[in-house]
């Protein structure tokens, strides 16, 4: 289960594509348009290699064709529009697209090769490399009409440029998931956690999407309907995915499997993209048992791309969703201890974790008590895959605005606690105490997502597309 994964849950981003050039050139240089159309076809081909739906409206040569393309792209309800500048074109050709489409626009300037053949080129051949010429014009005009400007320049087979384009496409996909997502919030706030409390209107206000308020009884009735055969199938899945410690009590494991089947039904019935939950419970009654039995099912859901986390941490479940859709996992995490001898920060959490990014086969450990919570049963234990990682939190300011908070480090090996928690040792390249003070001062809550890979470039693109502030905490 270790390593990066390809997100497979949810709607693929819909990417609009329009190419263009100045029509006045076509009668002057008859070979130019066919060459530019070949470049446009190559861009369309490369675009279809991404995990996205591509809406290609073809080639435009003047402002009237630009306006017609704008209407097609508006009707297509795109998440991102790529405008391919094949040669010089006037701003009037693209401004209608940028203004009317309702989607962010990325301009790409990809010339045919790395450089011109200066000895043999005439004016017509040069114009095929002239997509760079209108970029300042577009930037100036976009600013004056109030449209954000962003661009990628390179050549058709420039993999660095395509990596940058892919970053925008992935970020558009995340933006789409947030704008169209359905996020479950079940139970009640962990008593006293001010930083976790969330004004539900701020989720659609900042990100879009819908928050579905659930009760633990919504889960209870579904767990009661689970058949024994379904439990056996879930137990078989569990034994395949996990290593089981000797401390696992069979009755507790069976209950966790039954709750897991109920959770699957809950997520399907309410069409959820994420879930945050907590219920205190009392004296072993059914709601306490449900809350205690959710770790297995929540971990399996998270590994499937439906992040589920405890302690009613809605904003962290959203951060986990962002990380997952960037293909980087995203496991529920908080600070655990500082190791000044080894220069690392130890972090993780009790309860569910993102199994797909575990360094090893995750362990199910039986616990007689869940620290700080009511209940007992099985809990997940693992550490995140060694190598580069990114912490991602979703902070909230006094005026209700959300902000992305991120820090990049590396998970390194070393001794770990064996207490049924996810635990990782993260090296941020500086004194652990100084990093902790800077991270805490960022406005992050005391939970966040721990994701594999260095994601700050992707998060910068996401911040641009969503209008969220990105706070980068570094050494």
The per-residue pLDDT for range 405-448, each reduced to its tens digit, is 999 999 999 988 877 788 899 999 999 999 999 999 999 999 99
pLDDT above 80: residue 318: yes
Encoded tokens for 395: 């902070």
Q: Are 381 and 362 in contact (CB under 8 A)?
A: yes
The per-residue pLDDT for 161 is 98
pLDDT of residue 352: 82
pLDDT at 218 over 80: yes
Report which of 328, 280, 286, 287 is spatially closest to residue 307, judged by C-alpha positions: 328
Instruction: For residues 189 and 274, give the distance between their C-alpha atoms in angstroms, rounded to a whole number.
Output: 17
Helix extents (H) in 77-214: 95-100, 123-127, 135-145, 159-180, 202-206
pLDDT band at 186 (very low <50, low <70, confident <90, very high): very high
Q: Region 327-355: what's the mean pLDDT?
A: 92
Using 50, 70 and 90 to split pLDDT, how confident is the model at 5?
Answer: very low
Sheet holding 377-381, edge to edge: 243-244, 363-367, 377-381
- Per-residue model confidence (pLDDT) at position 420: 72
User: What average pLDDT does the segment 188-201 reach?
Assistant: 91
Q: Is there a contact between 288 and 280 (Cβ–Cβ < 8 Å)?
A: yes
pLDDT at 382: 86
Buried b (16+ CB within 10 A) or exposed e, 239-272: eebbeebeebeeebbbbbbbbbbbbbbbbeeeeb
Identify the residue whose tokens are 């706070």.
471
Tokens of residue 235, six digits:
């137990």
Say whether pTM exceeds 0.95: no
Which residue is associated with the tokens 């409206």? 57
User: Distance from first CA to last CA of the chain, Å, rounded?
Assistant: 31
Q: Is the confidence at residue 139, as pLDDT, over 70? A: yes
Q: Give yes or no for residue 6 having a pLDDT over 60.
A: no
Neighbours of 339 (CB within 10 A): 15
Give the mean pLDDT of 336-342: 96
């Amino acid at each position: 289960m270790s390593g990066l994964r390809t997100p497979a849950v949810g709607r693929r981003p819909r990417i609009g594509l329009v190419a263009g050039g100045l029509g006045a050139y076509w009668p002057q240089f008859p070979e130019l348009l066919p060459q530019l159309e070949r470049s446009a076809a190559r861009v369309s081909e490369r675009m279809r290699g991404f995990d996205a739906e591509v809406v290609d409206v073809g080639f435009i040569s003047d402002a009237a064709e630009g306006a017609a393309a704008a209407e097609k792209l508006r009707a297509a309800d795109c998440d991102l529009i790529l405008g391919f500048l094949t040669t010089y074109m006037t701003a009037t050709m693209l401004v209608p697209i940028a203004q009317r489409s309702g989607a962010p626009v990325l301009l790409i300037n990809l010339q045919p090769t790395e450089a011109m053949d200066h000895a043999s080129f005439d004016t017509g051949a040069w114009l095929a490399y002239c997509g760079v010429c209108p970029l300042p014009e577009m930037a100036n005009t976009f600013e004056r009409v109030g449209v954000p400007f962003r661009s990628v320049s390179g050549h058709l087979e420039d993999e660095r440029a395509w990596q940058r384009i892919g970053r925008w496409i992935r970020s558009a996909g995340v933006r789409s998931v947030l704008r169209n997502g359905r996020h479950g919030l079940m139970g009640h706030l962990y008593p006293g956690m001010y930083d976790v409390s969330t004004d539900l209107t701020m989720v659609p206000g900042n990100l879009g999407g819908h928050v579905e308020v659930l009760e633990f009884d919504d889960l209870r009735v579904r767990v009661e309907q689970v058949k024994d055969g379904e439990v056996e199938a879930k137990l078989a899945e569990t034994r395949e995915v996990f290593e089981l410690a000797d401390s696992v009590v069979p009755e507790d494991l069976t209950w966790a499997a039954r709750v897991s089947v109920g959770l699957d039904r809950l997520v399907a019935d309410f069409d959820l993209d994420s879930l945050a939950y907590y219920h205190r419970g009392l004296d072993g009654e059914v709601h306490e048992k449900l809350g205690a039995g959710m770790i297995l099912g929540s971990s399996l859901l998270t590994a499937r791309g439906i992040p589920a986390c405890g302690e009613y941490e809605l904003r962290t479940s959203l951060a986990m969703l962002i990380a997952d859709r960037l293909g980087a996992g995203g496991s529920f995490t908080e600070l655990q201890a500082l190791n000044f001898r080894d220069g690392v920060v130890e972090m993780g959490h009790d309860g569910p974790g993102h199994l797909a990014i575990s360094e090893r086969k995750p362990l199910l450990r039986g616990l007689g008590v869940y620290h700080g919570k009511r209940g007992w049963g099985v809990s997940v234990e693992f550490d995140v895959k060694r190598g580069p990682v990114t912490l991602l939190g979703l902070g909230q300011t006094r005026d209700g605005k959300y902000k992305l908070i991120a820090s990049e480090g590396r998970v390194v090996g070393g001794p770990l606690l064996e207490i049924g928690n996810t635990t990782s040792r993260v090296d941020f390249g500086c004194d652990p105490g100084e990093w902790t003070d800077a991270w805490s001062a960022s406005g992050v809550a005391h939970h966040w997502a721990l994701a594999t890979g260095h994601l700050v470039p992707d998060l910068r693109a996401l911040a641009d597309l969503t209008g969220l502030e990105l706070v980068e905490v570094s050494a």
